[in-house]
A and B are shown apart, each in its own frame.
Chain A
């Protein structure tokens, strides 16, 4: 501590630690890549809340945006709900199908949720959670983007936004069918 400059070494020593912590913002410890990417999406056949049958097989040739949700999932499912409907309205005539799968929910609460957000795309309950298990759904909401050939191409964890949906759908629609 004799040299006057040396004493500033103490505050200076803090800087590398702060830089390391700042670097931490660039990484996401919870980002788990899905092993399903690039693989054929698991087939399912369900019955929608409206009572019509719904199976992935019937949607072959369309780009499918598969959204897993629940009415108790606050706030993420509430945050993304308007974006889902907007995306559906913008893309339904371009060869895109938006499908909602309702997991671990009570039917009345789920219907109330759909009514409130005026969802007009098909929504089906997943009574025994089989579809969620097949897709490795860890928590809701999760959204899977399936290409025209029926392969899972992208998985989004957490609330979906218009931008993310648009980017993924546009990319998949550009691919030759």
Chain B
């Protein structure tokens, strides 16, 4: 029953989305309000039907309805309750349902928020958003139907991919998809602005907060993905330049560029063409990302499956890119800059440089990701480029971006005077140099760490100096330090939200540099009772135990960790054996710390427990990545608050 109900709801939602997209566009052309209202009702109806699809699917999972093929593949009778709910987005078909649902939610918010306030842009925005939604519903109808029936009905299902049975995988796709789908809103506004020839600052002002929300969720998704990789995959790293990671990273880079370049347009009425191109590119890259993940053209640890779905995505990608860039080209005469670049030493040129670096980074990531295709097309040999390539080309770019992060927010618009430069940057530059010199004197010889440290202190110095001056100015009007700081953050929330996001990035940069430079590891086979030593830690192997869990068997090692200073503690890394998987899954155990994590992975072992191979890693400063994520969250939240100055 459920397969038929679900499929029916999918088809109905597709028809509603198509109707709504058409009706909204027709109402914009003819001015007939009834058509627009009909389009809105279609949007609400599509949302309700996709919600029903989600409810049906979750019910099928909870009830072990193996007549639904997707349920049979992604769960079995031993799968715990919470993973049966999240198995919804554990594989291709369900992840598209989640995607469509989030897009429907965004569409609904757009309807509620803008139906009265943006009469001219709104019909087209609705039309574009429903058009995109219709595409994903089409995917759910033809190439990847989640409600496909399975006959004969098996007695038990296959079970969720063991690697996905983790809390990180419950949240990672949700955050990532909220980010991906969120960019549909600014994209739709950009298209609407082009169609009705209102290519001024309006669409940018409206979508600023939407872009920040999408950007933030994408950043959060990337960080949770890193956390998952770190504590589940057992290789001790958080980022591998895997094609699917890259697929999410590229729109993040172009969206970052977009967030900065729109400020130049708001202020100086330049870069109109550039900003429209960036948002088209960002949206296109979110589609490209799903295409890459789901078409199977590039091998990846993440890749879902193959089938005809790739053709649909490529077709849609072609439609989006050719359609929107052609629209852009046809409006070219309206996109001339009204302002001019006055000086190289100015905020606008700093932002331009920042954009140049971000787009260059996007291009190198894109190039590296599709390189296996290029090499096969040109030379007939499949060669993939690995982390060394990405690190080599991207580290200098990211260091340059860090530097610009310090300069951009405080250099004057138009033309910076020597006085402006000296006032804002002299002390921070000195602080950065002193910090690097001090670190060098302490014996740190790693060039990357020294450079990063100098840049981080420089940028943090510029922010601290600016904040200090602004707070001091407010103090003159009688507030105490706390009230003055808080009042400033709220009053200039956009500016200081941005600064706090920058601080979060700095913390992440330190984490990346520190973990790259200072993490150490050692792999040893220990007899029972024997110890190994690394970086001041002694790890003793105390024995093995076996247990039978609901859906897998588990062999757990017991290890005592001491570091000579405080009392020791136990770590229990394990290996999980899932019947449906040939290779066992490592279960990492670790103790996190601000400076270093102790990270233990169980390797091969003797069945009688007499000896076991264990990999011990002491990973430095990885926790700073997660801390940076928290700072980022606070900054983004501050930045999307309603503009206090405008509201007042």
Instruction: Point out residues on A near B: beta carbons under 8 Å.
Output: 1, 7-8, 10-11, 13-15, 18, 20-25, 27-30, 70-75, 78, 104-106, 109, 112, 116, 129, 132, 137-139
* Any A CB within 8 A of the CB of B156: yes
Knowing that A74-B157, A78-B150, A112-B155 touch, tell me 7 more A-B residue pairs with CB under 8 angstroms.
A14-B322, A18-B318, A20-B373, A72-B159, A74-B69, A74-B154, A109-B156
Tell me how far the C-beta of A105 lies from the nearest C-beta in chain B, rounded to whole angstroms. 7
* Any A CB within 8 A of the CB of B317: yes
- The verdict on A18 contacting B296 (CB below 8 Å), with A11-B329, A72-B76 known, is no
Tell me how far the C-beta of B577 lies from the nearest C-beta in chain A, rounded to whole angstroms. 9
Q: How many A-B residue pairs have CB under 8 A?
A: 104
* Any A CB within 8 A of the CB of B582: yes
Pick the residue among A13, A23, A132 that contacts B373 (CB under 8 A): A23
Tell me how far the C-beta of A15 lies from the nearest C-beta in chain B, rounded to whole angstroms. 8
Tell me how far the C-beta of A24 lies from the nearest C-beta in chain B, rounded to whole angstroms. 3
A129 to B584, alpha carbons, bound, how many Å? Answer: 14
* Any A CB within 8 A of the CB of B549: no
Across the interface, do B297 and A29 meet the contact criterion of CB distance under 8 Å?
A: yes
Tell me how far the C-beta of B332 lies from the nearest C-beta in chain A, rounded to whole angstroms. 4
Pick from B343-351, B374-382, B467-475 the stretch touching chain A: B374-382
A69 to B520, alpha carbons, bound, how many Å? Answer: 42
> Which chain B residue has the least Cβ–Cβ distance from A30?
B299
> Which chain A residue has the least Cβ–Cβ distance from B308?
A25
A106 to B77, alpha carbons, bound, how many Å? Answer: 14
Pick the residue among B154, B297, B299 that contacts A25 (CB under 8 A): B297
Tell me how far the C-beta of A141 lies from the nearest C-beta in chain B, rounded to whole angstroms. 13
Q: With a CB–CB cut-off of 8 A, which chain B residues contact A29?
A: 296-299, 372, 382
A8 to B553, alpha carbons, bound, how many Å? Answer: 61
A103 to B291, alpha carbons, bound, how many Å? Answer: 34
Q: With a CB–CB cut-off of 8 A, which chain A residues contact B17?
A: none
Q: With a CB–CB cut-off of 8 A, which chain B residues contact A11?
A: 321-322, 325-326, 328-329
Number of contacting residues on B, CB 8 A? Answer: 43
Across the interface, do B377 and A23 meet the contact criterion of CB distance under 8 Å?
A: yes
Main secondary structure of the interface of B (DSSP, over half): helix
Across the interface, do B298 and A24 meet the contact criterion of CB distance under 8 Å?
A: yes
Q: With a CB–CB cut-off of 8 A, which chain B residues contact A28?
A: 296, 306
- The verdict on A30 contacting B158 (CB below 8 Å), with A1-B332, A74-B72, A75-B69 known, is no
Tell me how far the C-beta of A63 lies from the nearest C-beta in chain B, rounded to whole angstroms. 27
> Which chain B residue has the least Cβ–Cβ distance from A23?
B377
> Which chain B residue has the least Cβ–Cβ distance from A27?
B376
Q: With a CB–CB cut-off of 8 A, which chain A residues contact B306?
A: 28
> Which chain A residue has the least Cβ–Cβ distance from B72?
A74
> Which chain A residue has the least Cβ–Cβ distance from B277?
A10
In the complex, the 6 A-B pairs of residues with the closest C-beta atoms, listed nearest first: A24-B297, A29-B299, A11-B325, A74-B158, A7-B329, A14-B321
Q: With a CB–CB cut-off of 8 A, which chain A residues contact B321?
A: 11, 14, 18
Q: With a CB–CB cut-off of 8 A, which chain A residues contact B372?
A: 29
Across the interface, do A20 and B329 meet the contact criterion of CB distance under 8 Å?
A: no
Pick the residue among B154, B298, B374 that contacts A71 (CB under 8 A): B154
Question: Which of A14, A105, A116, A138 is packed against the most chain B CB atoms within 10 Å?
Answer: A14
Pick the residue among B73, B299, B582 that contacts A138 (CB under 8 A): B582
* Any A CB within 8 A of the CB of B265: no
Pick the residue among B69, B73, B158, B291 that contacts A21 (CB under 8 A): B291
* Any A CB within 8 A of the CB of B48: no
A78 to B154, alpha carbons, bound, how many Å? Answer: 9
Tell me how far the C-beta of A7 lies from the nearest C-beta in chain B, rounded to whole angstroms. 4
* Any A CB within 8 A of the CB of B52: no
A46 to B188, alpha carbons, bound, how many Å? Answer: 63
Pick the residue among B69, B295, B329, B579 that contacts A105 (CB under 8 A): B579
Across the interface, do B295 and A25 meet the contact criterion of CB distance under 8 Å?
A: yes
* Any A CB within 8 A of the CB of B580: yes
Across the interface, do B325 and A18 meet the contact criterion of CB distance under 8 Å?
A: no
**Beta-carbon contacts under 8 Å, B44-92 to A:** 69, 72-73, 76
Across the interface, do A21 and B373 meet the contact criterion of CB distance under 8 Å?
A: yes
Pick the residue among B158, B314, B376, B382 that contacts A18 (CB under 8 A): B314
Question: Which of A73, A74, A116 is packed against the most chain B CB atoms within 10 Å?
Answer: A74
